[in-house]
Structure 1
Amino acid sequence: MKKLLIQTSCILVLTLLLTGCDIGDDVQCPSPLTGALTSTETDLVGEWVLSAIVAEDAVDLTNDQVSNPSTDIYSQYSACQRDLVYTFGNDRKYKVEQGLTATNCQNKQTLQGTWRLSNINLNLVVGCSTQNTEIEFGENKTTFSQEATVRFNNVDGFTITTLVVFTYTKSE
């Protein structure tokens, strides 16, 4: 289940987790992102909480002795797995926190870096890693979503690869 947590909840962060590796002298690390925010980027400033995870194909992740596959991955996750928050600042700095507000979470994580939004492309830089992903704002720009192909191991031991939409809601 811990492997599943990392694969799904931290889709934007997966490549950023490599920052602790020794990359040698031959690799040029990206510079932190700087500069004034555009009017589109100001829509992303603030705290965004993971609020939905919906798969294209039904998956059963709950070990409840009942075959009940669902496309609602979020409801099948524990409170610690659902506890994912991105905070984007006016200064181009961002942080992502996993498992910090839910009770008794193990594997708590915090990553910090810089960000830029260009059209629908969100670019994140931390250490020597960069991640680009497409996001789509919802109506009134109070939510944003991103898609990713995710491999799940269901309770029967089968691997299911499916398209998943992660939705984040802006905190007030």
Structure 2
Amino acid sequence: MSITWTLWLFFIPMAYTFYRSFLQPRYFIGAFRARRLLRQYRWQIYETPESGIGNIPGVRAGYVWLKFPDPEAPDQLVTMVMHSHVGSDWWGGRLGKRAKPERKVQVQEIWFAGDPRFAAVIAVPGPRRLYVIHQRPNYNRAVSADARGAGPDALERARRAGVHVPDPRSAASDVSGA
């Protein structure tokens, strides 16, 4: 065998290594965000929350969404969208209307830790399938999240969890100055 054959033998592992080296930082960022959220919020268990794929205003076709109760108004539901991500494919295959019954059973119980107005970690029972779900602008440093009727305690807790939210002190000074 020639040296060229040996190089071709190692080409596929090298290509996979380069692929993972570009993909891996996203996993680390997600893990650190999940860790910060889990330090601030306790797990809550929801049995078959309302969910689907597309078909609601403001959600692109093909995006998975779930609805969770607003912590300050439990009778109102807040929609959280799983924007395209590697892990959202697994969830989409189980939350959609066309999902097979044996797959729907896998997401019958969803663990939720966070505030649906800002960001949360969702999971199914077991050590796998953690997913950080957030309202779109929450991790963009240039844009703060809309407070959506959240009180100062909820804003401060979200800030400690790493979500960029408006400063309640500046919001209070805007109201008093008006």
Structure 1-normalised TM-score?
Answer: 0.24
> Which structure shows the bigger proportion of residues in strand conformation?
1
Structure 2-normalised TM-score?
Answer: 0.24
The answer to which structure, 1 or 2, has the higher relative contact order (CA under 8 A, 6+ apart) is: 1
